[in-house]
Structure 1
């Protein structure tokens, strides 16, 4: 399991005082308000202390200590923001970090190997798991009717395919 979790990406600067605009990749954007520092990863990796957090539309506006103008903030553009797994919000029952699902072997109730989970499509209503083997790709909705069990220790996802999913 990855020890560092990605929670967003700096997509632009905001204003002239060193703020950056972050596109969050976490379900709860308010989680940024609970952080004191964050790992900023671009060509190098550095820990930045968070001075202020604001929310604007679907973005998070961050101001880092020591980044006080637009030119300094511009250098952080396209950086990935990460936190240590121990600092992540706790998960509820049947909740998983997306990064832990990639590479899981996907099998049916009958024991048929469908392939590996290679991508997760985030849609309006529910995520969709992209499962690929050497012959084809299957899209499986992440709903209780289809996803019966996820066993991270075993590296396996047990699924029930609804009619028409393999066509």
Structure 2
């Protein structure tokens, strides 16, 4: 079963077992919906409560409703099963794009997608840790996950 990382526990919050989680997902409300199962490492846990505070998720799990039970999980990564993620109709998710080669309209390789960054305006691909390309239809012409390739149209001033 493939697991997808959705965040990392950075600290505890309060005495009732809430954990402060730095998110690595665009759909925190869906991923941490009360009753959903997520994994801290390989340990399955059921979400008891979820709220956002200063850009971080505050999550408590039914099995761990005490600060003494959760302190040992600081630094751990949080995952979901890939099959638990609903298809959004595109046929891929942003985490699928990391590792893909980006090629311009002339067939020249620009590098590998290191990260997808979600901004208020639009998502951005970070390529080779230095090139930032908006992930919008004006630039992205095709995504082929089988070939691990993304074809973009480069316009003057983009790179």
What is the DSSP-based 3-state SS (H/G/I as helix, E as strand, rest coil) of the residue aligned with 1:99? helix
Retained in 2: the 8 A contact 1:140–1:161? no
Aligned to 1:129: 125
Retained in 1: the 8 A contact 2:34–2:49? no
Gaps of 5+ in 1: none
Is it true that 1:49 corresponds to 2:46 in the alignment?
A: yes
Note closer, same or farther for the CA distance 1:36–1:137 as it changes in structure 2 (3 Å cut): closer
Note closer, same or farther for the CA distance 1:35–1:27 as it changes in structure 2 (3 Å cut): farther
Greater CA drift, 154-163 or 112-121: 112-121
Retained in 2: the 8 A contact 1:20–1:63? yes
Cα separation, 1, equivalents of 2:52 and 2:109: 44
Whose Rg is larger? 1
Give the one of 106, 109, 118 matched to 1:110.
106
Write out aligned runs for 1:1-167 (5 A): 3-31=2-30, 32-33=32-33, 35-41=35-41, 45-50=42-47, 52-57=48-53, 58-93=55-90, 96-132=92-128, 137-166=130-159
Retained in 1: the 8 A contact 2:95–2:116? no
Cα separation, 1, equivalents of 2:59 and 2:114: 31
What is the DSSP-based 3-state SS (H/G/I as helix, E as strand, rest coil) of the residue aligned with 1:89? coil
Note closer, same or farther for the CA distance 1:49–1:121 as it changes in structure 2 (3 Å cut): closer
| Structure 1 stretches of 4+ moved >6 Å | none
Greater CA drift, 21-30 or 80-89: 21-30
What is the DSSP-based 3-state SS (H/G/I as helix, E as strand, rest coil) of the residue aligned with 2:73? coil
What is the DSSP-based 3-state SS (H/G/I as helix, E as strand, rest coil) of the residue aligned with 2:33? helix
Note closer, same or farther for the CA distance 1:66–1:115 as it changes in structure 2 (3 Å cut): closer
Retained in 2: the 8 A contact 1:53–1:60? no
> Size of the alignment, in residue pairs?
157
